[in-house]
Amino acid sequence: DPYSVNIWVVGMGNALYVHAGANRATWIENMDTDPNVRLQAGDTIYQLAATRVTSQDEFDRYSAPYEEKYGNPPRNLNVAEVYLYRLVPR
C-alpha cells in the first residue's frame, strides 16, 4: 500500500536526490522494487522515477550541495555503502 515519508531532498540540475545513508529503510526497499515514486512539495504532487546512484563521481558532486544546504557533509562518503537515489520526471 502507498505511504508517505518525510525526507531531505537536494536538487541538482533537473534531478532531485534523496539520501538514506547506510539505512536500508522500508522506503528504500520499496523504491528498489518499484522505482515509480510520487513527491509532494506544497500542494503539488510530482510523478518521478528513482534510480540508485552507484557512481562515486555523481555522489561526490552531490555531497557539496548537501553540505551547503544542511551544514554537514553526508556521514559516509562511499557510494557503495549508502543509499542515494536520483529522482527525475517520468
CB neighbourhood size of 11 (10 A): 11
Give the rounded distance of the alpha carbon of 22 from its chain centre. Answer: 12
pTM of the model: 0.91
Radius of gyration (C-alpha) of the chain in whole angstroms? 13
Q: Which residues contact 51 (CB under 8 A, 6 or more apart)?
A: 35, 85, 86, 88
Strands 15-19 and 84-89: antiparallel
The one-digit pLDDT tens for each residue of the chain (90 residues) are 777 898 889 999 999 999 988 888 999 999 999 999 999 999 999 999 999 999 999 999 999 999 999 999 999 999 999 999 999 999
